[in-house]
C-alpha cells in the first residue's frame, strides 16, 4: 500500500513477468490518443451536496475486503493465503510487523451479533462491497482439495443478512489473497493453470450466491497486484466487471513532450487493461515501446476480450504530474521505464499542499476524479462505471484520546470535494451509477499494517476491535438522509483543489494505489 508495496509484494509473486496474465485473460472470459481534459475547472461554492444531488437510483455504498476485515484466519475450514504466509514469514516487510490473523474480526462480529451489517443499514448505505476469501471456499485453492461448506455457509449468511436489510451486495471474487496451495502447486499466477482454478472458484461463487448477488467484481486492482489481470462472466442475471486503480496524469508542463508523457502514463496503467477489454488490443504506445516483450493476442482472443465486461469499477484516490524522460538505454528494460514518463507530485519544487494524507502515495487531487471520468467517456465510449473505492487515511496515533481520534475533518473535506467533482462529471454525461467509500472501518492496510486508518468508523484494536463512528460517519449519514451540508473549506471561491502527500516524487509504479501511473 505504501511506496514500498510493490517490492514487498514481489517476494510473494516472484516478480511476475510483464503482461503474462493479461494474455491469459482471453481464456478466462470464455467461462465466467489519450486526450487530456481541457474543461475549465469550476469554482467550488457553498452549495451543499446530499443524496438528492445525484440521479435517482444512484448507489452509495462502503467497501471492505476479506483479508483486511475478516480475521478468523484458521477458523471455519479456511486454508492459508499468500498473505498469511507473507506476513508471518516476513513481518519486517509490514510497517508494524502485524498480520491479518484477527484483522478487525468481522468474521466473528457477523456470526455473533451481525454488528457490521447493522452499521451499514443504520448509516443508510444502499450497498456493501466485500470480497470472498478464495481459501475459505476452496482451502487449497483447487477443487481437488475439497469445497469448504462452512465457508459457503458463512458467506450465504452474510449475503442473506444484507439482502434482508435492503442492502445490495457487491462482491469481489479476488482481492489479493491467493490461496497458498495454488502458489505451492505451480507458482500461482505465474502459471496459466491458475485460470482453470480461478474458473472453478468463480463458478462456485456464481452457483452458490448468484441468485442474490447481482454485481460481481472479478479482480480488485490487477495493476497493483500483478501488473496484469483477467476477467470472467456470470450466468444468473447478474452483471460482471473489474475494479481498476488509476489516477489521472496531468502534464508537468505545457510542452508537447510532457503532454505525450501524460498520455503514455495513462496508456501504461489504465489503457493496459481497458484497451484489451474494449478494443481487443494493448494501447499502441505500449506496442511501440515494449515491442516483443508485450504478449500478442490471437484474433480469437481479441474478439473474446472486446466487450467482455458489464461495468468498470474505478478505485480512485490520487493523481500526479507526468514528465517526459529519455529512453532507458543503459539498464535492463522494465515496466518502470518503458513508458518514458516520470510520476511527480510537485512542480518545480513547489507542491500544491493544503494537508497531508498519511500514505506517501496518496496525493490528494479531487478534480482528478472528474478528469479521469471525462477521459474514460471520450476514449472508451462512456462505459457503465461504479466508483468502487475512494478515500483517504490518517496516521494511527496511539497517543490520541478516543474523543480526538474520532475527529476527521480532513476526511470529510476529501469526500465532500470528490463527490462535488463526481456529480459534475455526471452532469457532463459520464455514465456513473454508484460510489463506494473506502473504507467502512479502519483495517489491516497491507504493507502499512495498522499504522494508518482509512475508516469512517474508528476501530479500537486494543479493546476488542470495538467500532466507533468518526465525524465522517455522521457526515455521511446526514448526506445519505438527504440533509444539506458542506465543509467550510468549500465556501471560498477560486481556490485550487489539489493536494499532495509528503513524498516529493516517484519513478514508475511503486504504490498500492498509485496516482499517475
* Helices 367-379 and 409-427, axial angle in degrees (round to 10): 30
389 is catalytic: yes
Q: Which residues pair with 315 in a beta bridge?
A: 245, 389
d(CA 505, CA 18): 24
Laid out side by side, the sheet with 249-251 consists of 249-251, 320-324, 341-344, 505-506
Q: Using an 8 Å Cβ cutoff, are 250 and 517 in contact?
A: no
Say how far apart CA 322 and CA 441 lie, in whole Å: 33
Residue 165, classed as helix, strand or coil, is: coil
Rg for the chain, CA atoms, rounded: 21
The phi-psi region of residue 15 (left if phi > 0; otherwise alpha if psi is between -120 and 50; otherwise beta) is left
| Residues composing the chain | 517
Q: Where are the beta strands (DSSP E) in 350-508?
A: 385-389, 394-395, 432-437, 452-453, 457-460, 466-469, 505-506
Choice among 221, 394, 417, 445 that is catalytic: 221
DSSP 109-127: HHHHH-HHHHHHHHHT-SE
- From 70, 161, 183, 389, the catalytic residue: 389
What is the C-alpha to C-alpha distance for residues 288 and 330, in angstroms, rounded to an integer?
19
All cell numbers assigned to 345? 507530485
361: its cell numbers: 502515495
Residue 271 DSSP one-character state: I
CA atoms within 13 A on the CB side of 49: 22
| Nearest by Cα to 71 from 324, 348, 444 | 444
Half-sphere exposure of 118 (CA within 13 A, CB side): 8
Give the residue numbers annotated as catalytic, written as ranges. Answer: 221, 389
Amino acid at each position: 500500500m505504501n511506496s514500498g508495496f510493490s517490492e514487498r509484494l514481489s517476494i510473494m509473486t516472484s516478480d511476475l513477468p510483464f503482461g503474462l496474465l493479461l494474455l491469459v485473460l482471453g481464456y478466462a472470459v470464455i467461462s465466467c490518443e489519450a486526450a487530456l481534459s481541457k474543461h475549465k475547472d469550476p469554482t467550488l461554492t457553498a452549495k451543499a451536496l446530499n443524496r438528492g444531488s445525484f440521479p435517482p437510483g444512484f448507489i452509495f455504498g462502503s467497501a471492505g475486503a476479506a483479508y483486511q476485515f475478516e480475521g478468523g484466519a484458521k477458523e471455519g475450514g479456511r486454508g492459508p493465503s499468500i498473505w498469511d504466509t507473507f506476513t508471518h514469514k516476513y513481518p519486517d516487510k509490514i510497517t508494524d510487523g502485524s498480520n491479518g490473523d484477527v484483522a478487525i474480526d468481522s468474521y466473528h462480529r457477523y456470526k455473533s451479533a451481525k454488528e457490521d451489517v447493522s452499521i451499514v443499514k443504520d448509516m443508510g448505505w444502499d450497498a456493501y462491497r466485500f470480497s470472498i476469501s478464495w481459501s475459505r471456499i476452496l482451502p487449497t485453492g483447487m477443487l481437488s482439495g475439497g469445497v469448504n461448506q462452512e465457508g459457503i455457509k458463512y458467506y450465504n449468511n452474510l449475503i442473506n443478512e444484507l439482502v434482508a436489510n435492503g442492502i445490495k451486495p457487491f462482491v469481489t471474487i479476488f482481492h489479493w489473497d491467493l490461496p497458498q496451495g495454488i502458489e505451492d502447486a505451480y507458482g500461482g499466477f505465474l502459471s496459466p493453470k491458475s485460470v482453470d482454478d480461478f474458473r472453478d472458484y468463480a463458478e462456485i461463487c456464481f452457483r452458490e450466491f448468484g441468485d442474490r448477488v447481482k454485481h460481481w467484481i472479478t479482480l480488485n486492482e490487477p495493476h497493483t497486484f500483478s501488473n496484469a489481470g483477467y476477467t470472467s462472466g456470470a450466468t444468473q442475471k447478474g452483471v460482471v466487471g473489474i475494479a481498476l486503480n488509476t489516477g489521472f496524469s496531468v502534464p508537468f508542463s505545457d510542452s508537447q513532450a510532457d503532454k505525450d508523457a501524460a498520455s503514455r502514463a495513462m496508456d501504461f496503467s489504465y489503457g493496459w487493461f481497458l484497451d484489451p477489454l474494449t478494443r481487443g488490443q494493448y494501447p499502441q504506445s505500449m506496442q511501440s515501446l515494449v515491442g516483443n516483450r508485450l504478449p500478442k493476442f490471437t484474433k480469437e482472443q481479441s474478439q473474446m476480450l472486446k466487450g467482455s465486461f458489464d461495468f468498470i469499477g474505478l478505485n480512485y484516490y490520487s493523481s500526479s504530474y507526468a514528465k517526459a524522460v529519455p529512453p532507458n538505454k543503459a539498464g535492463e528494460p522494465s515496466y518502470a521505464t518503458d513508458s518514458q514518463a516520470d510520476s511527480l507530485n510537485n512542480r518545480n519544487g513547489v507542491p500544491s499542499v493544503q494537508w497531508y494524507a498519511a500514505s506517501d502515495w496518496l496525493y490528494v487531487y479531487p478534480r482528478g476524479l472528474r478528469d479521469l471520468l471525462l477521459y474514460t467517456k471520450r476514449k472508451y465510449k462512456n462505459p457503465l462505471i461504479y466508483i468502487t473505492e475512494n478515500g483517504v487515511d490518517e496516521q494511527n496515533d496511539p497517543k490520541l484520546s478516543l474523543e480526538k481520534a474520532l475527529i476527521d475533518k480532513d476526511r470529510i473535506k476529501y469526500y465532500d470535494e470528490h463527490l462535488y467533482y463526481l456529480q459534475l462529471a455526471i452532469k457532463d454525461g459520464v455514465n456513473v451509477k454508484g460510489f463506494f467509500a473506502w473504507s467502512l472501518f479502519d483495517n489491516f492496510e497491507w504493507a502499512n499494517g495498522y499504522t494508518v486508518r482509512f475508516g469512517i468508523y474508528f476501530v479500537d484494536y486494543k479493546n476488542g476491535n470495538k467500532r466507533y463512528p468518526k465525524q465522517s460517519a455522521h457526515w455521511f449519514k446526514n448526506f445519505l438522509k438527504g440533509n444539506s451540508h458542506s465543509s467550510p473549506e468549500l465556501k471560498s471561491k477560486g481556490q485550487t483543489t489539489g493536494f499532495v502527500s509528503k513524498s516529493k516524487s516517484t519513478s514508475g509504479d511503486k504504490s498500492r494505489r498509485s496516482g499517475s501511473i
